[in-house]
Structure 1
């Protein structure tokens, strides 16, 4: 089961026991409104009416005389409170209570066997009442009409102190919405009464609409009206400072002409048969705090073989229409589509048949959404009755009286990641796991274990790349949601694989037209998303190409002996120090693998360059964000990258029980070391194509394992092709650890001749061998002769210092001696102490005798 439904409230457990206790209490038996004699034996009358913004739940029940009781469950205190009782057999249409619990609004009709007839007042079938309940006092009739009315108190976002004015929405079946302004005053201490109850001011909020949805958490009203046979979605924001504001208008390419009148999230509606509703269209608006705006729409169900639905991603500028096969249909299962809001995801299912997790944050590639077509054990535990998605990942099952908080089920997604044979399902499960807020190190360890076990299998995406990029992205995403357009969230560039049983059509849509000019909170983010769709460059996401060019330039300058200005390089290296310090602060436990134990200037340069470039990039695109916050985010992001690489390797290190003796060269490699070497090679491949930094010491450890595990010709092939890098630390250790056997001499010589000149000059002195002297001599001669121009001989040079009966060598040594004596600066370069023409001549003779076997 990909979803985990946690019960937040259950009528049968949170309300029913207390009501039964009231019934059993002798003292309560004589109290008229205490809840005694409430139930018949079957208790069927108990049901939820509404869920308010503060989480309080209003419920109703009847006693055996038909009296209607209203109760409230306080979500914070987990206590029940009796609100009011009507001593008449009535059927409740709608109910709402204000935040101070002083006013109760309700719409009722008289219960009759003949139908929906009401005889409370002649000519009216629905009576809308406003009741003073603190204490019980007046009952005011707001509406007595021949149409149904739904009520909803507004809960302003400013709740630090009680407001003198309460606002109440009345939604009429005649397709209009009114807002009542209700002034309250206190009399005789705590007695709260309505001021000027005979004349309550009202506003017309909307009219001529065919569909409306209430967002109780964000206090927003969405409604659809028709103009020239075209549907338009409007949104009204209610808040404490102003009356109400029309925020946007968006055209919808759907047909609602024959859909009738429908309300969403205005409480339970007993008038609408749930099975009949399932045969009609389903339409929901979902948002989250990143500024996303999705409209999920499914036309009325007319097929037992497939279901079609559309999702309008307004924050992305396109829509996707899905057609999914149902598989073997069960005639007893309710048909229709249910949409559930999971913040960054929308769950789509037809009870008992198929389950889709749509990634609304990143809907561009279908591989980031999870599609399970047909009957599947992943959806078996979902209720077969339709669920109503409220705000804040809350889901209400009206039939059972349960309120759920729905989450992605990490354990099941992890199991699915291991067991699924399909790459697009692996990709979707991986992103679903990493998107879970506050995913733990244990979860990351499980994913790393999966990567380690599957690293040799063929996939259509790089497991290591995808994990590193996605996990680093999601690690900072909760802190700064705007980075979702700037930082990469996936390593894949395209994904064209078809999904069996699913067809998909993507179309551009018209963006919402914002009706205001000043934005805060969610609206600022939505407007940013819309502006991004309109004007942003297609390839605005950050990549490391700039760093690659700059890094290559620095390395080239290093090889030629040229260096940038000292302040520039100091700034780059200081950036690297900050990253390493930040990483060590986040992970206090010592590393198993020997990382961060050497300078490794090349990796520090790459690390520092990434800090500099990424910081400048974000400062350019994240206007209005504090510089310090961006700097810390960059440090956290790059630290996370490095930490993930360390964790991947340490998992394999721990699995194969490797120890510090791996770093010694005077031993042969084992199967365990080869497995770790192979993993390090895959890590290197993954990071090289993305040009990501590696932990200092990575290349040293990689080279050591390569020397252990590879034959010499393979080792040299890896070195020549840049897979293994010759670090000064590793080569120094190699020269010291290995003796001068014939095999080791061949290895040492093969390594030394491949070293960069500056490092080679240092390393050659560690090997007391004629071959090393020959190499030193060659480097010395190269330095002397690179600018040599033949000049008249200096007869004053003492030629008796070196005399061998080998005239070509004598002549060459004399030339070197002339150069040395004429300009000391030419050969006084770093590392060439005690190297002169005499040393060169002696080394040449030793090397010659060695080659000739003399």
Structure 2
């Protein structure tokens, strides 16, 4: 169920009704029961080829044994008769050009024994080129005793008919040729071959043992043998008659005794499906990000386990997986099927296992998903061998069905909720995020899961992984090269075992690019190869520079020696852009006033992260506009903060807390404690990575802590840095809490822990002897910090003091002298009423409290 199969085409539903109607019309005109005859010949109806434009060529035999070719147009969903060979022949291969004016076909004479899918020794193979618009000449291209496969090239530009068609001929004698066929138009719509007596040809490759055709990208992959060594090569064909050998790479596999194999040159019915497991499976997959993977499964001899390898050429290493086959008692084939799913390769053994291998991030095994035996995911795939034609397009050869294969978001989310293994949670989380079909819905569902399972993972931090992975995928589509520049996971190493899987990783030789002027896919692949070749250590962004610079700015703020205001203003402007970006994404009002508080430290942090991330991308992303990079940096940081806000709001909704106004004069509820717990987990996740938090986060966290924690736990959280006292939070505490003995103790404990600048402001809000005591102490500290004892007259004028308390009187006299001698020492904002008399009154009041008078 993790794979959703959408049928694009079905022979029985899309072709057979048309054939019945066509036969019925013929029978009605000429008599006879042709429709019944067609039913008996339905077994001969099969798909021959799927062209690059999606059109499907099929064949069947009529009641006379003639071979009939038809075409199904995937755009108009109409069928078209192409040609009929009035002989009892067996089709090996066929292809039609994009204009549907030429049909190429390879045929052999059917055998009397009725073995329709195998060539008999000495049988004659005819490769024919037919003019079909209108039906005209038939030209013999080859007449040999070995099998021939044919494939027309399809230009990438198909806006107008081309005057020339190009045809590949692949011979069982291990050579590939390209024929160039000039076309001309005569007598109106009559299209014929120009100079059909001589067709120019090129020898493309020879001495190869395996070849694969990539119809969607017009590429030929093949392996030839040089001194018993396998060399992997790729040829790129272009819209004109040119082609280039793009790369070659040595392969550490032996194919010398494996026979001759072709992949995707039409639909291969010449193999005995029961013997597939006796031969190695080999196929190549690419995607638009510049990945190049070769999947290889050797001949299967073991009944208990199966081995396959994936050569990640774009990463410079291969991985060999050995999986337990399982004890299902199934008699299905042991032939492995590899499917290209874009960012993943699916490895499928019917009835036994289903693996999703990450192509973008294969270095950690936990980013790949391994499912076995009784899993529902396995039951959705056809039990018959399926052929992967291009990204997401597969053909079930036995049923004649063509499918689009997608990862099923609903099942993956269900699996995320229900799996117990950390490795499967990690893999499924990344798999869901990479689907990208409805990212907002997927993130909402993942956040719901996190709110229930924040502490469920032991080998990685779930919130941390979600923040990093989701932010990465949010900007990944803007530039596929960011996978080398941005972290995609919070996990650096994975030492936990995957049940039922053993893995061996080996370095491989990088492909040698043979062409240096590269565009599109080849440019991205070359970028990946250059990265592997020259980049050590990796260039993934991390916040170490932000951490150092942020501490510097905070220190400068405390000492009042901050550097240029333009520099700081630019950083704070970045923070304003981030907050505006987040607010623009939100459709409705938020449940809590995050992002609105003037939290200067968090604004500095988010602005610094934008600045450093932008500089990092500018240094290493070549050929990308500066404005686009600035946009990416803003989007990345905005996504981080928005996800944190979404996690908090989801938690509030879950616990039915629709307002952030918590009543501090009553005990905290279980719901509020749960929200406090999730906020603490968020703080832990962001602290180790030094990620910014939304302004207002620390205020809300502190208020919840005061509300939900016993005093000794609260003070421990504050002293250990888990709770950060903000001016907004403490101001609310001073105003909202009355002066009961318990609250006085709480207020005093918090005030003495405040930084001096905030503490001086907060003490003015609390009309209490404790507050006066603290203000007095700080006033005295300021006056005496540079005090040097001077010889003084020991006689004290007692008439100036109302209380005869000689130590205090002497001290107050010193303060009075200091105040009168240097007015600037004690005049500071908001403390005009603080002087020696204030200190005296506060000291006496504090003494009486201590003495219980």
TM-score, with length taken from structure 1: 0.96
Structure 1 regions of 5+ residues with no counterpart? none
Query: Shift of residue 825 of structure 1?
Result: 2.4
Query: Shift of residue 462 of structure 1?
Result: 0.9
Corresponding position: 1:445 with 2:444: yes
Report the Cα distance in structure 2 between the residues aligned to 1:535 and 1:661, rounded to whole angstroms.
52
Q: Aligned residue for 1:155?
A: 154
TM-score, with length taken from structure 2: 0.96
Report the Cα distance in structure 1 between the residues aligned to 2:594 and 2:241, rounded to whole angstroms.
58
Q: Aligned residue for 1:240?
A: 239
Query: Shift of residue 631 of structure 1?
Result: 0.8
Report the Cα distance in structure 1 between the residues aligned to 2:416 and 2:325, rounded to whole angstroms.
23
Report the Cα distance in structure 2 between the residues aligned to 1:552 and 1:461, rounded to whole angstroms.
27
Structure 1 pair 28/445, CA: closer, same or farther in 2 (3 Å)?
farther
Structure 1 pair 24/205, CA: closer, same or farther in 2 (3 Å)?
same
Quick check: 2:319–2:503 contact (8 Å CA) kept in 1?
yes
RMSD: 2.3
Range 603-612 or range 328-337, more displaced: 328-337
Report the Cα distance in structure 2 between the residues aligned to 1:130 and 1:588, rounded to whole angstroms.
61
Give the 3-state SS of the residue equivalent to 2:39 in structure 1.
coil
Q: Aligned residue for 1:23?
A: 23
Give the 3-state SS of the residue equivalent to 1:789 in structure 2.
coil
The within-5 A match list for 1:31-430 is 39-41=38-40, 43-114=42-113, 125-241=124-240, 243-328=242-327, 330=329, 332-430=331-429
Quick check: 2:395–2:403 contact (8 Å CA) kept in 1?
yes
Query: Shift of residue 461 of structure 1?
Result: 1.0
Give the 3-state SS of the residue equivalent to 1:113 in structure 2.
coil
Report the Cα distance in structure 1 between the residues aligned to 2:660 and 2:139, rounded to whole angstroms.
86
Superposed CA deviations along residues 769-819 of structure 1, whole A, max 9, x for unmatched, are 111111112222222222333457799x99977553223223222322232
Report the Cα distance in structure 1 between the residues aligned to 2:371 and 2:751, rounded to whole angstroms.
57
Range 107-116 or range 606-615, more displaced: 107-116
Query: Shift of residue 764 of structure 1?
Result: 0.7
Report the Cα distance in structure 2 between the residues aligned to 1:849 and 1:563, rounded to whole angstroms.
45
Give the 3-state SS of the residue equivalent to 1:152 in structure 2.
strand
Q: Aligned residue for 1:477?
A: 476
Report the Cα distance in structure 2 between the residues aligned to 1:786 and 1:24, rounded to whole angstroms.
110
Q: Aligned residue for 2:737?
A: 738
Quick check: 2:90–2:116 contact (8 Å CA) kept in 1?
no
The within-5 A match list for 1:586-601 is 586-601=585-600
Quick check: 2:330–2:351 contact (8 Å CA) kept in 1?
no
Give the 3-state SS of the residue equivalent to 2:42 in structure 1.
coil
Q: Aligned residue for 2:625?
A: 626
Report the Cα distance in structure 2 between the residues aligned to 1:188 and 1:31, rounded to whole angstroms.
35
Report the Cα distance in structure 1 between the residues aligned to 2:398 and 2:135, rounded to whole angstroms.
31
Quick check: 1:793–1:818 contact (8 Å CA) kept in 2?
no
Q: Aligned residue for 2:607?
A: 608
Q: Aligned residue for 1:13?
A: 13
Report the Cα distance in structure 2 between the residues aligned to 1:269 and 1:654, rounded to whole angstroms.
56
Query: Shift of residue 351 of structure 1?
Result: 1.0
Report the Cα distance in structure 1 between the residues aligned to 2:793 and 2:731, rounded to whole angstroms.
41
Structure 1 pair 784/161, CA: closer, same or farther in 2 (3 Å)?
farther
Quick check: 1:170–1:178 contact (8 Å CA) kept in 2?
yes
Report the Cα distance in structure 2 between the residues aligned to 1:617 and 1:483, rounded to whole angstroms.
11
Query: Shift of residue 661 of structure 1?
Result: 5.5
Give the 3-state SS of the residue equivalent to 2:827 in structure 1.
coil
Report the Cα distance in structure 2 between the residues aligned to 1:595 and 1:251, rounded to whole angstroms.
57
Corresponding position: 1:493 with 2:492: yes
Query: Shift of residue 167 of structure 1?
Result: 0.6
Report the Cα distance in structure 1 between the residues aligned to 2:793 and 2:518, rounded to whole angstroms.
86
Q: Aligned residue for 1:693?
A: 692
Query: Shift of residue 478 of structure 1?
Result: 1.6
Report the Cα distance in structure 1 between the residues aligned to 2:666 and 2:230, rounded to whole angstroms.
76
Query: Shift of residue 597 of structure 1?
Result: 2.8
Structure 1 pair 107/469, CA: closer, same or farther in 2 (3 Å)?
same
Query: Shift of residue 756 of structure 1?
Result: 0.6
Superposed CA deviations along residues 72-99 of structure 1, whole A, max 9, x for unmatched, are 1111121212211222221111111111
Give the 3-state SS of the residue equivalent to 1:142 in structure 2.
strand
Quick check: 2:546–2:609 contact (8 Å CA) kept in 1?
yes
Give the 3-state SS of the residue equivalent to 2:837 in structure 1.
helix
Q: Aligned residue for 1:573?
A: 572
Give the 3-state SS of the residue equivalent to 1:677 in structure 2.
helix
Query: Shift of residue 458 of structure 1?
Result: 4.9
Report the Cα distance in structure 1 between the residues aligned to 2:70 and 2:352, rounded to whole angstroms.
37
Q: Aligned residue for 1:548?
A: 547
Q: Aligned residue for 1:4?
A: 4
Q: Aligned residue for 2:807?
A: 808
Superposed CA deviations along residues 500-535 of structure 1, whole A, max 9, x for unmatched, are 322211111111111111111111111111111111
Report the Cα distance in structure 1 between the residues aligned to 2:73 and 2:718, rounded to whole angstroms.
69
Report the Cα distance in structure 2 between the residues aligned to 1:194 and 1:492, rounded to whole angstroms.
61
Query: Shift of residue 486 of structure 1?
Result: 1.1
Structure 2 regions of 5+ residues with no counterpart? none
Quick check: 2:484–2:538 contact (8 Å CA) kept in 1?
no
Quick check: 1:57–1:72 contact (8 Å CA) kept in 2?
yes
Give the 3-state SS of the residue equivalent to 1:500 in structure 2.
coil
Give the 3-state SS of the residue equivalent to 1:250 in structure 2.
strand
Query: Shift of residue 251 of structure 1?
Result: 0.5
The within-5 A match list for 1:765-776 is 765-776=764-775
Quick check: 1:290–1:526 contact (8 Å CA) kept in 2?
yes
Q: Aligned residue for 1:847?
A: 846
Give the 3-state SS of the residue equivalent to 2:637 in structure 1.
helix
Superposed CA deviations along residues 574-622 of structure 1, whole A, max 9, x for unmatched, are 1111001011111121112331231111111111111011111111111
Quick check: 2:41–2:63 contact (8 Å CA) kept in 1?
no
Superposed CA deviations along residues 729-780 of structure 1, whole A, max 9, x for unmatched, are 1111111111111111111111111111111111111111111111112222
Structure 1 pair 794/473, CA: closer, same or farther in 2 (3 Å)?
farther
Structure 1 pair 31/224, CA: closer, same or farther in 2 (3 Å)?
farther
Report the Cα distance in structure 1 between the residues aligned to 2:660 and 2:618, rounded to whole angstroms.
45
Query: Shift of residue 8 of structure 1?
Result: 1.3
Quick check: 2:798–2:804 contact (8 Å CA) kept in 1?
no
Query: Shift of residue 23 of structure 1?
Result: 2.4
Report the Cα distance in structure 2 between the residues aligned to 1:493 and 1:368, rounded to whole angstroms.
12
Query: Shift of residue 59 of structure 1?
Result: 0.9
Report the Cα distance in structure 1 between the residues aligned to 2:833 and 2:269, rounded to whole angstroms.
100
Quick check: 1:177–1:206 contact (8 Å CA) kept in 2?
yes
